[in-house]
Structure 1
Amino acid sequence: MPLAYDDTNIFARILRGEIPCTKVAENDHALAFRDIAPKAPVHVLVIPKGAYVSFDDFAAHASDAEIAGFTRLCAEVCRSEGVGLEGGNPGFRAITNAGPHGVQEVPHYHLHIMGGRMMGPMVSPRD
């Protein structure tokens, strides 16, 4: 069972217009905006407009229209930010974190689209 959704999280507040964001793109089911602490030249967050905590919650409970709308907005962001593979761009990284072991900071499903430079290894080994 997924964690209960907390509608006071920062992304829920952004969706309600209580906190501003720098919007990159939007459709009926998702919103894309610039990360306030970017880790790459391109660092955009894409969030569904529905109340989903994590990727597994979204994949299991979102409607087909929500899943398609979210995924298509991700592709639109990749194209508009010049990191999608179309046109010979060198690529990007798409990351989502879930729960404490995934180091999820905001309990609203979100995908980081990062690019504009070599991103390095996915994870570093730890002792």
Structure 2
Amino acid sequence: MAGSANALQAAIHAWLAGDTTLTALIGADSVFDRRVTGKAMPYLVLSEIVTSDFAPGLEEHIVTIEAWSDAGGRKQSQDIAARVRVLLDGASPALSGFALVNLGHQRTVARREVKSKAQVAAMVFRAVTE
């Protein structure tokens, strides 16, 4: 099953980057696999994927996606998170070389990043691949 996490990340990235409503909220080319210093906010970061064996031939992935905003208050980051949830909860983006069994939202945590003073809405999704 090596590589299913990478295939999942690529599929999620493409799914999010292809949505015009989300692009209107964060701008073009604003979905990253790491935090980009110097990039104007808002943007999304696919920050973490924790992969575990789930059953023979299946892997479980806990995916964290962060909406970063430098706007005052949490509204902008939470609006972005709401759109991401609509796009991914129950979605079935195509994975290269693997099949997505399911993808669902588990929780969203909104916080203020102390160092940068940015607002962050961290969304956690669970995916199973085969």
TM range (shorter): 0.3 to 0.5
Looking at secondary structure, tell me which structure has more strand per residue: 2
TM-score scaled by length of structure 1: 0.37
